[in-house]
């Protein structure tokens, strides 16, 4: 259903951060995709980091990785999970990347002696990046989310670029959705529109008029409030969209459909409206909301205080739970507080444990104790990236009797570096964007648990790491029952390990959570949840 020209929808935010611009953008994209339109979403992030790869998860939540090896904002995970379409480097733009590019051009003499300024040079670079995806001719509509809140100093160049683009493209080709908050004052028992009025006014002071208001609220908006917002914010009443709090982010597309957000947006863009086909989506929701059983999984890591640190893992469990028609209750456990004395007490009630990705030495010994416990007690185990490396260390120490076995990341002087820095990483000093990143091929060994899960001999999975299983120890581990069931044939690096005589024990060097979507749940998560159900029944 390609239109003659790619159309753009911008999503801005006002009043407060964390209102869910990414979820609204992804939900609208889902509705448009379900009508046959080709859609993608991009995120403009106002911070000066070139990408989130060097940001602490406490600061910014998880760092999401695309097939082409871009380290991006976690919102790109939502985009992929909703649309079931991969994103790329071009879908995430940061102020750091914009300035890096402009400064590089200036050093090369590309501005011919001109004084380099925010306008036009920074804004032109932003516009060029925004239009890059559209220039490919692959998409009917591109939704662009501007991070931060209107009025922030950091986001001003993006809003200015938006103002210029709107002037250049025309109102039929570019519309603006402003997501805002309608707070409820319990003392007055009233919803208040004033913060939204001020937010829209701030946006207008930058030369941008919102076409559609999406209003986050805890209580339903009556007609009087909608009319008041329309009058004071210069929008039609049908363009005031209520976004009331829902039980799960996966309810938002249906709620936006009932509010006719897609219909209003298409009308503004002068595109045809067709009733969206949400059958597959609603089948998933039905299974998710009507589980026949419940299981309890321990998520062991070191960033457990902040749910966003493991966002893709938590969402992958939702997808896998729906397939298995089971409620997956995730209990985060801080590995720093697990030791040999309390490990039984902490883990005995769980149907399965997942040891999460991470970096550094904090909490390592707790992870190793947890893995030893589940290995000896036949509890399903799933180790991702660092979790896989910890499983190898635990096995080397307690089965191979290499008591000082470790990773050189934790102890550079260990006599038994069963996990070591990859050869190509040894001369790298820069931290940003230098890990083994993106999609890599892996060959699966037949007649293994991993092969029964994937049902194929060749897979592609996304990576984000510097350390790997040291192949010098591979034969010893294999002889004692730890099998390398997945390898990259070009590099000979081990990607998957499993234990022969165990109900379900798999460690993977890659990040399967990055590829799980609503309509394509990841087979490893589906199989692990299934094993946990079986463990519970025993």
Asked if residue 154 lies in contact with residue 140, where contact means CB atoms within 8 angstroms, the answer is no
Name the helix (H) or strand (E) containing 7.
Answer: strand 7-13
Instruction: Give residue-wise pLDDT tens across range 279-328.
Output: 999 999 999 999 999 999 999 987 666 677 888 999 999 999 999 999 99
**What whole-number distance in Å separates Cα of residue 279 and Cα of residue 258?**
15
Of 239, 385, 442, 450, the active-site residue reads 385
Q: Is 513 a catalytic residue?
A: yes
**Residue 303: partners with Cβ closer than 8 Å, 6 or more residues away:** 57, 58, 309, 310, 356, 358
d(CA 453, CA 522): 10
Q: CA quadruple 412, 413, 417, 421: dihedral positive or negative?
A: positive
pTM above 0.85, yes or no: yes
Measured distance between the N- and C-terminal CA atoms of the chain, rounded to whole angstroms: 52
pLDDT of amino acid 1: 42
Instruction: Quick: pLDDT tens for 324-380.
Output: 999 999 999 998 888 989 999 999 999 999 998 876 677 789 999 999 999 999 999
In 85-223, the DSSP E strands lie at: 92-94, 141-146, 174-181, 184-185, 190-191, 212-217
Tell me what pLDDT residue 126 has: 95
* Pairing of β 190-191 and β 184-185: antiparallel
* Averaged pLDDT of the chain: 89
Q: Bridge partners of 463?
A: 438
Structure tokens at 170: 């025309």
Q: How many residues belong to the chain? A: 538
By DSSP bridging, strand 458-465 and strand 436-444 are: antiparallel
Buried b / exposed e along 312-321 (16+ C-beta atoms within 10 A): bbbbbbbbbb
> From CA 455, how far away is CA 463, in angstroms rounded?
21
Distance (Å, whole) CA 424 – CA 434: 10
pLDDT computed for residue 419 by the predictor? 82
Q: Output the pLDDT for position 435.
A: 61
403 in active site:
no
* pLDDT 10s digits, 161-212: 999 999 999 889 999 999 999 988 888 888 888 999 999 999 999 999 999 9
Alpha-helix runs per DSSP H in 49-193:
57-60, 75-83, 95-107, 123-135, 156-169
Please say if the pLDDT value at position 398 is more than 70. Answer: yes
239 catalytic residue (yes or no): no
Task: Determine which one of 145, 315, 513, 522 is catalytic.
Answer: 513
Count of Cβ atoms closer than 10 Å to residue 134 Cβ: 21
């Amino acid at each position: 259903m390609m239109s003659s020209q790619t159309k753009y929808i911008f999503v801005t935010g006002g009043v407060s951060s964390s209102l869910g611009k990414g979820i609204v953008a992804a939900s609208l994209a889902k509705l448009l995709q379900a009508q046959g339109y080709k859609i993608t979403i991009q995120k403009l992030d106002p911070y000066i980091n070139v990408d989130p790869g060097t940001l602490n998860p406490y600061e910014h939540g998880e760092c999401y990785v695309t097939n082409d090896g871009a380290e991006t904002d976690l919102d790109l995970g939502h985009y992929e999970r909703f649309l079931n379409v991969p994103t790329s480097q071009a879908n995430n733009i940061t102020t750091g990347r914009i300035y890096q590019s402009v400064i590089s051009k200036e050093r090369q003499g590309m501005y011919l002696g001109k004084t380099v300024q925010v306008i036009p040079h920074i804004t032109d670079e932003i516009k060029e990046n925004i239009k890059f995806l559209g220039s490919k001719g692959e998409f009917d509509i591109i939704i662009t989310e501007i991070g931060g809140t209107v009025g922030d100093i950091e986001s001003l160049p993006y809003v200015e670029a938006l103002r210029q683009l709107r002037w250049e493209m025309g109102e039929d080709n570019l519309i603006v959705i402003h997501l805002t908050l309608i707070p409820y004052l319990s003392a007055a028992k009233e919803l208040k529109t004033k913060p939204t009025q001020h937010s829209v006014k701030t946006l207008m002071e930058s030369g941008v008029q919102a076409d559609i208001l999406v209003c986050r609220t805890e209580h339903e908006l009556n007609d009087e409030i909608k009319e008041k917002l329309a009058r004071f914010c210069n929008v039609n009443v049908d363009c005031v969209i209520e976004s009331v709090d829902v039980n799960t982010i996966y309810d938002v597309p249906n709620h936006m459909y009932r509010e006719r957000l897609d219909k209003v947006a298409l009308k503004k863009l002068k595109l045809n409206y067709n009733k969206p086909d949400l059958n597959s989506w609603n089948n998933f929701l039905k299974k998710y909301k009507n589980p026949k059983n419940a299981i309890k999984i321990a998520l062991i890591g070191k960033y457990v205080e902040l749910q966003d640190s493991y966002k893709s893992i938590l969402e992958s469990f939702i997808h896998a739970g729906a397939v298995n028609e089971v409620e997956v209750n995730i209990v985060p456990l801080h590995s720093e507080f697990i030791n040999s004395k309390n490990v039984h007490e902490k883990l005995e009630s769980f149907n399965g444990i997942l040891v999460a990705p991470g970096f550094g030495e904090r909490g390592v010994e707790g992870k190793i104790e947890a893995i030893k416990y589940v290995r000896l007690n036949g509890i399903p185990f799933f180790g991702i990236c660092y979790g896989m490396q910890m499983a190898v260390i635990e096995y080397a120490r307690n089965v191979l009797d290499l008591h000082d076995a470790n990773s050189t990341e934790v102890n550079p002087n260990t006599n038994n570096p069963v996990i070591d820095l990859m050869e190509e990483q040894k001369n790298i000093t820069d931290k940003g964007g230098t890990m083994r990143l993106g999609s890599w091929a892996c060959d699966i060994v037949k007649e293994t648990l991993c092969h029964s899960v994937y049902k194929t001999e060749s897979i592609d999975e996304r990576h984000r790491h510097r350390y790997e299983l040291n192949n010098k120890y591979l034969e010893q581990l294999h002889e004692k029952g730890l099998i390398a069931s997945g390898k990259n044939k070009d590099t000979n690096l081990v990607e998957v390990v499993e234990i022969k005589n165990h109900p379900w024990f798999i460690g993977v060097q890659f990040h399967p959570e990055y590829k799980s979507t609503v309509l394509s749940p990841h087979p490893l998560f589906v199989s692990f949840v299934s094993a946990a159900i079986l463990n519970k029944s025993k």
